[in-house]
Structure 1
Amino acid sequence: MTNITDFFVSLGYWPSAGSFGFNTDILATNPINLSVVLGVLIFFGKGVCASCILNDLLDNRKQRILSTIRNSEELRKGAIEQLERARARLRKVEIEADEYRMNGYSDIEREKVNLINATSDSLERLENYKNETLYFEQQRAINQVRQRVFEQALQGALGTLNSCLNNELHFRTISANISTLGAMEKIKD
């Protein structure tokens, strides 16, 4: 028996920092304190069953966990509903954005076509105005040339008449014109 006692005593002297060993010091291991606490619990809790207290504690804990789970589920359902509403709004906004984009492209295309048509009309009017101006200037130039040719021909004819016309020719021309006028008067009557 001394060997066993020596064994336990020798275990008590081993350094305990960082190693495993048995502590033979009764006051250091607190078995007295534990027995006092258990004695007090048994004395004062005679009618109370330890398993009942433990069951009540576990039931309370279970109820808190279940209520937390229910609250979490409700929050999750609310979050899912909000997510669905947000997705619906996003789809609606995307549809509206597509409509605005398409309308914008349509408006741009319409404006482009209108601008091209207006520019084409303006160019056509300018082309017509240019053609009218050219025609007017051509007609004016032709009229000026005609007037100049007529004046030169008239001056040439007057020059020829003045040089060729003598009194006798002049007298015959006047007589022929008077007879023509007289014949015309007889026809009228």
Structure 2
Amino acid sequence: MISLSLLATEGSGFGLNFDLLETNLINLVIIWGVLFYFGRKFLGKTLSTRRSSIEEAILDAERRQQEAQESLKQQEENLAQAQSKAKEIVAAAKENASKVSEEILAQAKADVEKMKAAADQDVTFQQEKVMRELRQRIAELALQRAEEELPSRLTPDLQTALVDKSIALLGD
């Protein structure tokens, strides 16, 4: 890049200097000066805005981290409570199952005893029924046999004696 610069020379006045090294240094100083003068406000404002947004982002991130830690702590407490409650429920369920099991066994024993008593009663009733039927049958057979043998054994004298004896018994 070729730059033109006006320099005062000794005796000849103003002229053009075509030396690249000298002119680049002067140009750089001028550009830095212009940038510093005009860019300072713009860069300062931009950097200030950027710094402010970064600080806000950091504060927001710290706040969210704090909230996340609090939420984690709360969830851990909830988990501990839930595990404790689950243990209580399991213990209560085991206890209830044990009680119900004992009640079922007791009820089953009572039912078995009732069934035995009912069976014993039924057997006793059946025995009594059989005995009554047997007595009745024996009485019928005895009466039938007596009716069959009575006419052949009953003589008129014996018949008169029996009637007299029955009348005597009735008279007393």
Structure 1: gaps (5+ residues): 1-26, 47-52, 185-189
CA distance change for structure 1 residues 133 and 35 in 2, over 3 Å: closer, same or farther?
A: farther
Q: How many residues end up aligned between the 2 structures? A: 148
C-alpha separation in 1, matches of 2:67 and 2:107: 58
Which amino acid is 2:121 matched to? E
- Structure 1 residues 68-77 or 172-181, which shifts more? 68-77
TM-score (norm 2): 0.61
Per the alignment, residue 170 of structure 1 pairs with 159
Per the alignment, residue 64 of structure 2 pairs with 75
Q: After TM superposition, give the deviation of residue 145 of structure 1 in Å.
A: 1.2
Q: Deviations over 1:26-48 (max 9, x none)?
A: x9xx99757633443247748xx
By percentage of residues, which structure has more strand?
Answer: 2
C-alpha separation in 2, matches of 1:138 and 1:92: 68
Q: Deviations over 1:39-73 (max 9, x none)?
A: 43247748xxxxxx99xx7x998877666554443
CA distance change for structure 1 residues 60 and 176 in 2, over 3 Å: closer, same or farther?
A: closer
- Decide which of 158, 161, 173 is 2:150's aligned counterpart: 161
Per the alignment, residue 32 of structure 2 pairs with 41
Which amino acid is 2:153 matched to? C
Per the alignment, residue 15 of structure 1 pairs with none
Q: After TM superposition, give the deviation of residue 123 of structure 1 in Å.
A: 3.3
Q: After TM superposition, give the deviation of residue 167 of structure 1 in Å.
A: 0.7
Q: After TM superposition, give the deviation of residue 105 of structure 1 in Å.
A: 3.0
For residues 1-40 of structure 1, the aligned pairs below 5 Å read 36-40=27-31
C-alpha separation in 1, matches of 2:102 and 2:24: 100
For residues 1-189 of structure 1, the aligned pairs below 5 Å read 36-42=27-33, 45=36, 69-182=58-171, 184=172
C-alpha separation in 2, matches of 1:173 and 1:61: 147
Q: Deviations over 1:101-120 (max 9, x none)?
A: 23333343344344434444
Which amino acid is 1:36 matched to? N
CA distance change for structure 1 residues 82 and 31 in 2, over 3 Å: closer, same or farther?
A: farther
C-alpha separation in 2, matches of 1:163 and 1:104: 87
